[in-house]
Chains A and B, each alone.
Chain A
Amino acid sequence: MNKITSLADLKKIKDQVQSKIKLRENSDVADTLVQIRVGMATCGIASGAKETMNFLIEETEHLAIDAVVTQTGCMGYCYAEPTIEVTLPGKEPMVFGHVDKVKAREIIDRYIIKGELVDGIIPASYKTIDEK
C-alpha cells in the first residue's frame, strides 16, 4: 500500500475508490452485478451471519451470479438478525431480516434471480447525514 502524503493524495484515492464503487453500481457490464452486505457485528454473528454469508458466497458462485458479498457492521435491527442488504443493479437497496440459509435460498431464487420481492423486508427507518 502506498502512503498517502497529502490531502490532495487522499482526495485522489477517494475519487478512485468512489469511482470503483460507482462502476460496480452503474456500469453496463455490471448489469448482473449484485451487491450483498451482511451485517457482521457480534449480534449478527451470534445469530448465524457467518453461515449466511458463506452460503451466499457459495451459492452465488455456484449459480454464476455476478455478486459481491461483503461484510458490514451492525445495521441496528438486532431483533431480526442475521440481516442482509441486497442491491440489485439500478434498484434501491433492500434489507431483509432473519436471513438463515432457507431465507437466503429464497432471496437468491426469487429476489436476485427473478426480481420478485420476498417476505421479510425491513423498511429503512432512518435518515442519513446526506438527507438531513
Chain B
Amino acid sequence: MAEYNTQILICGGTGCKSAESDEIGNVFKDLLNEYGLDDDVQVVVTGCFGFCEKGPIVKMMPDKTFYVHVTPADAEEIIKEHVVKGRQVDRLLYKDPKTKKSVSDSQHMDFYKKQIRIALRNCGFIDPENIDEYIARDGYMALGKCLGEMTPEQVIDEIKKSGLRGRGGGGFPTGLKWEITAKVKGDQKYVVCNADEGDPGAFMDRSILEGDPHSVIESMAINGYCTGATKGLVYIRAEYPLAVARLKTAIKQAREYGLLGTDILGSGFDFDIEIRYGAGAFVCGEETALIHSMEGLRGEPTFKPPFPSESGYLGKPTNVNNVETYANIPVIINKGAEWFASIGTEKSKGTKVFALAGKINNVGLIEVPMGTTLREVIYDIGGGIKGGKKFKAVQTGGPSGGMLTNDFLDTPIDYDNLISAGSMMGSGGMIVMDEDDCMVAIAKFYLEFTLEESCGKCSPCRIGNKRLFEILERITEGKGEEGDIHKLRILSEVIKDTSLCGLGQTSPNPVLSSLSHFMDEYEAHIKDGRCPAGQCKALLKYEVVEEKCTGCTLCFRNCPVGAITGERRSVHYIDQSLCIKCGVCFEKCKFDAIVMV
C-alpha cells in the first residue's frame, strides 16, 4: 500500500479543463515517475474549485498551497521546488489585488469562498428525517429562546433590526410584516408558509424543505408566538412529493417531541401545523390567490388592500412568508440581528439562495451574501459559460424578471440594484444565456409561460398577454411588421399598469427588458428577416458554398429528410422546400461548405 505524503490536486472543472488541466496532470505524473516520486506523491483531479478566472488551479496537500494560472511548463518547477525542496513557487501564488502580496493558503482567501450558507446551513449536512440531527445543530434553540427569554415584541424587534426582507421576491421587510400581523386584532390568526415555488428553473424552496424541513417548522412557531397565531399552514405544490414527505415526517417528529402541540416547552404557547396542497399553478404563489386556494376556492388573486396581515385566510389576520425567509429566522435569533445585518449591502441584509441554471458549467444551488456581483456568481461559482461560449444575458426573477446583460455583470446583487437594472430579485431563479440564445425567442418563451399560467380573471393579463405573445410569435416566424416594436411597448405598459395582481403586472418584463437591451435582435428579425442567434427556424436557411463543397456526400448521407442532392465529387444542393432546418448537414460538414444564412 502506497503511503502518499503529498497530494497534488488539479482542478478538473470545465473551465480549467479547457485551459489544459488534463495536460498538466499528465506532465505531473510523467515527472513524478521520472523523479521516482510516484510512490510518495499522488496526483488527483478534482471538481471545480470555483475560481475559474484564475485557472487552471493546482492545490498542494497537506499544506494547502494554492497555485493559480498554472501551465504544463510550470509543473516541473512545482515538483522541483515545492515537492522536493519544500519551497513555494512564489510567482504562481495568488496575489491579493489590494495588498499585492502573495496569498498561499486557500483558507485565508476571501475570494475563494464566495458563498455563505445561512438558509442552507443544514442542507446537505443533516439527515432531514432525523430531528435529533437538527437539534444537534442548535435546532429549536431559537424557539426555546423566544418562548423562554423574549417577549413577542423583542423577537419582532430583533427581526426588524436584522434587516431581513421577504425572499419570495417582493423584498418586503419581514419584521414589519410580523409587526403588522401582531398588531391587528383577531380571535384566530394564521401563519402561512408559501412553498408554491413556480418559476421555471427555480428549486431553492424545494431544496430547503427536502434538506432542512425543521427550520421552517421552527420559524413558523416563532412567528405564531410573535403574532398570536396558533395555527400554521404550509401551502406546497403537490409536484414536490419528496418535500411533502419530509415535511410530514418532520411535523410528526416535532409533535412527538412536543415542539408542536399544546404548551410548547412549558411556556403555555400552543401551535400546530397542517399541510395544504396546491395543484401547481404559478398564480397561487401570489399571496391572495394562495389563500383563496387554501380556502378551497379558485386560485385567483383579489385586490390588495386589505393585505393578508389584516384579512387573510378565512378573513383572519394571516402572516404569509416564503420558505427561504423562514429558514433565516432561527439563525437571526441564535446569532443576533447584528451578526445578520453585518452580511450584505446597506439595504439588503444577509444572503440569497439562487438556483443557477441554463448555459452554465456548474448548475447548482448556491447561497451568496447580498452584494455579490453577477460576475462572481457566473464565473467564480458557476464556473463560467458552457462550452466556452460568450455570455449574453442572465434572467433573474423568472418570468416576472428581466434580462441583465454584460453591462450589469459588476452590479452588486440586491433588491434595489436589480430593480433599477430593469429586473428583480424574484424568488431566486437565475438562468444564464449565451450567444446562441435568441432574445426574442426567450421573451416569447416566458410569455408563453405566463399566458398559460394567467388565471384569466382580469382582461389586461388574459387578453393583453395573448396579443403580446401573438406579436412575438409573428416576429420569430419572420412575419414581423413595421410598428410591431411600438405595439409591444404600448401593450406592455398597459398590461403592467392595469393588471390585478403581480403576475400580470410583471408578465411583460421579459419583453420590455429584451427590447431595451436587444433592440438590434428585434430589428434584425423584423427588417432583415434574420435571427442573429440562428434559433428561429423560420428565419434560417442552410446553403452550400459552391467553392468549398468537395462533393464528399457526408451531408447527403446524413440528411434525415433527403433534402440534399448531388453526385460524388460534385457540388451538392439543398432543396429548401424539403429542408427542416435541423442543422445536421451544418454540423457534419468538414469543409465549412454549409453556411447558415
Contacts and interface: CB of A to CB of B under 8 A. Distances in A.
A56 to B, nearest CB: 15
Contact of A6 (B44, B121, B266): B266
A41 B463 CA distance: 39
Interface stretch (B134-142, B171-179, B310-318, B587-595): B134-142
Contact of B145 (A7, A18, A119): A7
Contacts of A97: 47
Given A118-B44, A119-B44, A125 B49 contact: yes
A10 B140 contact: yes
A17 B132 contact: yes
Contacts of A76: 120, 123-124, 207, 364-367
A121 B206 CA distance: 26
Interface centre among B124, B135, B365 (most CB of A within 10 A): B124
B561 to A, nearest CB: 34
A111 B367 CA distance: 29
Contacts of B129: 71
B265 A125 contact: no
A83 B210 CA distance: 15
Interface centre among A11, A13, A71, A117 (most CB of B within 10 A): A117
Interface stretch (B1-9, B28-36, B71-79, B569-577): B1-9
B46 A10 contact: no
B135 A17 contact: yes
Contacts of B381: 125
B361 interface: yes
Nearest to A125: B50
Interface stretch (B109-117, B228-236, B400-408): B109-117
Given A7-B148, A14-B136, A17-B133, A129 B117 contact: yes
Given A1-B257, A73-B211, A120 B128 contact: no
A4 B367 contact: no
Interface string A99-132: 0000000000000001011111111111111001
Contacts of A45: 242
Interface residues of B, number: 75
B559 interface: no
Contacts of B212: 73
Nearest to B122: A73
A18 B50 CA distance: 32
B45 A73 contact: no
A13 to B, nearest CB: 6
A17 B136 contact: yes
A114 B48 contact: no
A85 B118 CA distance: 20
B115 A125 contact: yes
A97 to B, nearest CB: 5
A127 B46 contact: no
A17 B140 CA distance: 14
Interface of B: 1-2, 4, 7, 9, 12, 42, 44-50, 59, 61, 112-118, 120-130, 132-133, 135-136, 138-141, 144-145, 147-148, 203, 206-208, 210-212, 240, 242-243, 253, 256-259, 263, 265-266, 331, 335, 343, 361-367, 381
Given A1-B257, A120-B12, 17 more contacts: A1-B256, A4-B258, A6-B265, A11-B141, A20-B132, A41-B123, A45-B242, A72-B211, A74-B120, A77-B47, A114-B2, A117-B9, A123-B49, A125-B48, A126-B116, A126-B117, A129-B117
Those 8 A-B pairs whose CB atoms lie nearest each other, nearest first: A73-B211, A75-B124, A3-B258, A126-B115, A122-B47, A7-B144, A76-B365, A121-B46
